[in-house]
Structure 1
Amino acid sequence: MELKIGWLYPKLMSTYGDRGNVICLQQRCQWRGIDAAIVPLDRQSEASQFDLVDVIVGGGAQDRQQEIVMRDLQGAKAEKFRGKIDGGTPGVFTCGSPQLLGKYYEPALGQRIDGLGVFDLVTKHPGIDAPRCIGNVVLEITASPLAEELRAILGETPIAIGFENHGGRTYLGNVAPLGKVIKGYGNNGEDGWEGAFYGNAIATYSHGPLLPKNPFIADWLIQTALRHKYQEAISLSKLDDSLALQARKAMFERLDCANLVNTL
């Protein structure tokens, strides 16, 4: 078996170590004997490159980089990308990427940046003097069917941990939130929700990077991508995640979430 990992604009959208999500997916595939190739999806790519990928990863970016990306992600590229997500291709999109996949992003300075409208959400920056949403974030993943499928992998309620650093505030329309905030700000620091989930695509403000801190999410992406590609049930072999589990336990204790340790 093989997977092709599409990496959205690697040079422009990899803020706060989000390339670690790509590395994590590739490594967890290789440990299981699954060939995993990385396909850059950038300004040099033809729209047809989107047809090649089985899972897509997008990271964060500054406002200037987002403007450059959105000038390029138009026309045939936008249609191909939109078609992949609508068709069930799994992906994880962090911080700046969900803003681009939403309806629009209003920066603190400059013009509104129109998004692809894949996610029914909008993001607005409250102004240059507004404090950023920075710190560790813990959330219970509640989106269906993701939560149920993760629970089947874990045997417990899926609790994700990450690190957020964003100035924009995201507001959801007719789209499911990824999960319920336990610690941190989440989408906007007001409504108690974090991220969004549509099709098989995860949108989140959680850096970390997310997947090494939450390997069960990485395995869900791999399993879903393989199932979608080969149209058959896929069961992944277990890996030794003891170091990641120890790190999660330490962070839960540091954040006074020790009651979550038994969800590991």
Structure 2
Amino acid sequence: MTERKLVIAHLFPELLNLYGDSGNILCLRKRMEWRGITCEIREVHPGDTPSFSGVDLAFIGGGSDREQKIVCDKLLAVGSEVRSFVEDYGVLLAVCGGYQLLGESYLMGNEKVQGLSLVDLYTDHGDPRLIGNVIVQSSVSEQPIVGYENHAGRTHLGPSATALGKVLYGHGNDGVSGEEGVLYKNVLGTYVHGPLLPKNPGVADWAIARALERKYGKGQLEALDDTVELAANQIMYDRLMHGEVKEQ
């Protein structure tokens, strides 16, 4: 079999790891290794100039307002390269604060901050914070996506953006629309923490398959024994949908 290799850019892990988002990178790496896919992780640190040359999949985690602003400024400095990566179907996973950076603007306190303008969306604030467990039905995964959300931001999608999925439990983008996250080309943005991927192997495999398809023209993945992962997913789904967990 021809060797397959994917390069993952983990953007600013020191700044954007508020809810254990590094676990998403560990999950991607292991699911690739189990299939014999070579995985190279390139960590981009605060003193580095981000580069997407040779990158197949990029990941942006969540962080506080201060860290989010630092990361946004660093990425805006190479904005044309980021946009080229996205428009060329580079895979980009963005969680919570990273998700908010994808749009035209977001609010930091009362200040409107320029975003990366990669996807047709913007984020403002609302009260109260949207906190709690969340379940999302999405086309990217056979199983419902489960996790946790904690955000004051209300993200609004424009006409050229598609929601990641429908909220079955929890709040989602704005607590009103019933939508959660965004999909644009091979960009996936979401408020789902937990971290996202270990209990949602379908989402992890969606990202890996899209990256392989872009690089090699074939994105078919060998099946894995996901008994443990799917059990964790199912238990969370059952507890929430059957009323066994009472949200505060």
Same fold per superposition (TM over 0.5): yes
CA distance in 2, matches of 1:171, 1:79: 24
Q: Which has the higher strand share?
A: 2
After the TM superposition, which residues 11-90 of structure 1 pair with which residues of structure 2 at under 5 Å, given as runs?
11-47=14-50, 49-75=51-77, 77-90=78-91
Deviation, 1:170, is 0.8
1:111-156: CA deviation from partner (whole Å, max 9, x where unpaired): 2111011111111123xxx321111111111xxxxx2xx46xx4xx
Letter in 2 for 1:245: L
- Alpha carbons 1:41, 1:50 under 8 Å: kept: no
Letter in 2 for 1:180: K
Structure 2: tracts of 5 or more residues without a match: 244-248
What is aligned with 1:131? 128
Letter in 2 for 1:58: I
What is aligned with 2:211? 225
Alignment partner of 1:117 is 2:89: no
Deviation, 1:86, is 1.2
CA distance in 2, matches of 1:257, 1:170: 28
Alignment partner of 1:209 is 2:209: no
Deviation, 1:8, is 1.4
Alignment partner of 1:140 is 2:148: no
CA distance in 2, matches of 1:213, 1:18: 13
Letter in 2 for 1:169: R
Structure 1 residue matching 2:198: 3-state secondary structure = helix
Question: Which runs of at least 4 in structure 1 moved beyond 6 Å after TM superposition?
Answer: none
Alignment partner of 1:240 is 2:225: yes
1:2-33: CA deviation from partner (whole Å, max 9, x where unpaired): 11111111111111111111111011111111
1:18–1:105 CA distance, 2 compared to 1 (3 A)? same
1:257–1:56 CA distance, 2 compared to 1 (3 A)? farther
After the TM superposition, which residues 101-180 of structure 1 pair with which residues of structure 2 at under 5 Å, given as runs?
101-107=102-108, 109-126=109-126, 130-141=127-138, 147=139, 150=140, 154=142, 158-174=143-159, 175-180=161-166
- Alpha carbons 1:140, 1:160 under 8 Å: kept: yes
CA distance in 2, matches of 1:86, 1:257: 41
1:59-118: CA deviation from partner (whole Å, max 9, x where unpaired): 10111111111222223x2111111111101121100012111111112x2421110111
Percentage of matched positions with identical amino acids: 41
CA distance in 1, matches of 2:211, 2:64: 29
Deviation, 1:234, is 3.1
1:26–1:53 CA distance, 2 compared to 1 (3 A)? same
Q: Which has the higher helix share?
A: 1
CA distance in 2, matches of 1:222, 1:234: 8
Structure 1: tracts of 5 or more residues without a match: 142-146, 259-264
CA distance in 1, matches of 2:157, 2:241: 29
What is aligned with 1:261? none
What is aligned with 1:252? 237
CA distance in 2, matches of 1:117, 1:211: 25
TM-score by length of 2: 0.91
Deviation, 1:256, is 2.2
What is aligned with 1:99? 100
1:146-196: CA deviation from partner (whole Å, max 9, x where unpaired): x2xx46xx4xxx421111011111111121111111000000101111011
Letter in 1 for 2:151: H
TM-score by length of 1: 0.86
CA distance in 1, matches of 2:44, 2:55: 9
